[in-house]
Structures are given as structure tokens and as C-alpha cells.
Structure 1
Amino acid sequence: MPDSVAAGALNHAIFRVARLHRMLAGQLLRRVGLHPGQELVMMQLWDRGPQRQTDLVRLLGSDAATMTRTVRRLENAGFVRRFPCATDKRVTIIEPTAASNALRAEVERVWLDLEAGATEGMTPERQAEAVEVLRSIEENLVRATSQQT
């Protein structure tokens, strides 16, 4: 680790892990025609059914511009369909297509492979501990973020 980041060793570790995790996710997701983050949108749609685009933003902690680009790319790939809400034409509803439903099992397999790659050699207890530590870090970062606004 560079001397300049020694005071923030945890920050450096999180950055490295997040970068490598996203890189592996990208490699695995390319096999099914998705990019990192798109699978999260699809998972929400598969599990919850058609959603307002604003709800996807909230559920995934995204921003409107990023979600718009993601949905547009998924629509161009044939994985989602956008249509105006029947009761409020200002609202856009996103729904999965039959083509995306056919991908569901493959995406779930990718997530299992990603998890296996990330936890190789770890006992189930160690994995549970890692999840708890990450959850605690996430809660702290959410709190710190909300204090900055």
C-alpha cells in the first residue's frame, strides 16, 4: 500500500475490492449481454414486477440520469419496455420483456459465480462476518452522506 494512503487503509481496501468486484462482475455479465448495474434493475423488475422509473431510482440508490441511461440501454437490448402510466402520463413505467425473463436464470448463475469468486476459501461463518462488517460500513456511510446534505 502506498505510504500516502496508510492513514486510510480501510478506504484503500474498499476502493480496491469494489474495483475488482465490478471488473469481475463485468466479465461475467458480458456473457449474458448485460453491464454491471443493469442486472440490479432487472432483478428489481423480476422480483417486483413493473415499476415506475422513479421507484427504481429510489430502490437502487441511483440518480435519475443514470437510471434513464440504464433503462434506455436495456430497452435497446430488448430487455425492458417503457410506457406511460395509465393514471399519470408524466410517470414512466418499466417492465421486463419475455427476452429478459429468459435471462433470469443466467443472471442468477452469474451472481452465484461472482459470490463464489469473492468468497473462495472463506468459511460460511467468515462470509457472514464479512456481510455484517460491510453492512455496518454501509450504515455509517449512509449516515455520513445524509449529514453532508
Structure 2
Amino acid sequence: MKADSTAPVDPVCTEPLPGAALGGPVSHAVSRIARLHRIAAGKLLKGLGLYPGQELLMAHLWAGGAVRQSELIKAVDLDPSTVTKMLQRLDQAGHVRRCPDPDDRRAVLVEATEDSCALHASVREAWSVLEEHTLAGLDPAERTELARLLGKVEENLCRETAGCPGVAGPDRHEGPDRHEGPDGHEDPERPVPTA
């Protein structure tokens, strides 16, 4: 099928936008870039025996030491079932160790194993390679400007989605009147009082 030569052109690619993207060419570009970035990261991490996202979880453990699984879930801001599956895979690979918290038998502590520390430098190198591939062709000023603009976009999306730790949005409450379930996440069965 031949592309319509009158269709708007995406600012990132020089191909006509699909119909669904006509109302949001920047959002469409960000979506495509995020997908491609994840694929590229996956290729680099595969050689280390990791899946995308696992390296971020490991980086948190390498930096902070043993942490409760519920706190790790909050720190990486992922669904609890996703983090549990990641931890199962990392545990099977010998990268993490899970054990009962001596201060609270209901809680689980997670820590990076000594063997996983050998991965730390390799993960850092993989991210450096990914950074260079991602920013190839951009001069230092363009890289700085891109980082600044992406920071603004991130702030906008954090406000819109309340997706950043410590940011309360219209459907999410932080602080003492936030009701949590036993897993440390908001309990949908308990309404949050409104002022």
C-alpha cells in the first residue's frame, strides 16, 4: 500500500504518521523511542543474562544493600507481581537472596549476592554503550538540551499520572491519611478520607 504523500510527517522519522498518531506526533515518537530503547537494552543485557528492568532493580540493591521486598517494590515503582517474578528469576540465577526479615517475620528481605557484584560493572558498561547508541550524532549541547527537555516531559507525566515517588495526584494520596494494604500498596477496599 502506498503512503499518502499529504499525511503529516513525524518530526522524528520522515515517514507519514499512522492515523492513530495524528493527534499526538510527539507522544507517538516518545512511544516508539521507548519501545526501541527497551529492545536495544534487551540486546545488551541478554549477554549478561538479564532482562530489561532487572538491571534497574539490581542497581537499587547494589547501591542500598538489603531491603524489604515491599520497599523495593515502591523504589522501582513497578507492580508487585512484576517485581516478584523478576526476583524469582534473579534468585534462580544466583543474583539475589531472599530471606525473612528478623524484625518482622511477615516481611522478606532482598539483597544482592556477592556473585552478582561482578555484574555491576558490566551493567554500567552496557548502559554506557546504550547511551552512546541512543545519542549517536548528537553533539554535547544537543545531548544536554535533550536531557533538559526530557526532564520537563517527565515532570509533566509525573504530575499527570502521579507516577513518581513522593508525587500525589488526583487518584493517589501520599502521607498519613493514605490507607495501605498488607503489601504496602494502597488498599482499594478502604476509601481514603477527603478533606
Q: Give the greater-gyration-radius structure (CA).
A: 2
- Partner Cα distance (1:93, 1:61) in 2: 17
- Partner Cα distance (2:152, 2:41) in 1: 23
Alignment pair present for 1:118 and 2:116 = no
Structure 1's unaligned 5+ residue stretches are none
In structure 1, the residue matched to 2:4 is: none
Please point out which of 35, 39, 43 is paired with 1:27. Answer: 43
Please point out which of 18, 38, 42 is paired with 2:58. Answer: 42
Determine which structure has greater relative contact order: mean sequence separation of CA pairs < 8 Å that are 6+ residues apart, divided by chain length.
1
In structure 1, the residue matched to 2:151 is: 135
Measured against aligned partners, the alpha-carbon deviations of 1:49-103 in whole angstroms (never above 9, x if no partner) come to 1111112111111121111111111001110000011100111111111221111
- Partner Cα distance (2:22, 2:93) in 1: 44
- Which ranges of 4 or more aligned residues in structure 1 deviate by more than 6 Å? none
- Partner Cα distance (2:63, 2:94) in 1: 18
Q: TM (normalized to structure 2)?
A: 0.73
Structure 2's unaligned 5+ residue stretches are 1-16, 163-168, 172-195
- Partner Cα distance (2:94, 2:45) in 1: 16
CA RMSD of superposed structures (Å) = 1.1
- Partner Cα distance (1:45, 1:4) in 2: 40
1:59-138 maps to which residues of 2 (within 5 A)? 59-138=75-154
Displacement after TM superposition at 1:3 (Å): 3.4
Displacement after TM superposition at 1:148 (Å): 5.2
In structure 1, the residue matched to 2:165 is: none
Amino acid across the alignment from 1:103: L
- Partner Cα distance (1:37, 1:4) in 2: 28
Identity of matched residues, %: 41
- Partner Cα distance (2:49, 2:89) in 1: 11
Displacement after TM superposition at 1:145 (Å): 1.2
Q: Secondary structure at the match of 2:116?
A: helix
Amino acid across the alignment from 1:44: H
Q: TM (normalized to structure 1)?
A: 0.95
* Greater helix fraction, Structure 1 or Structure 2: 1
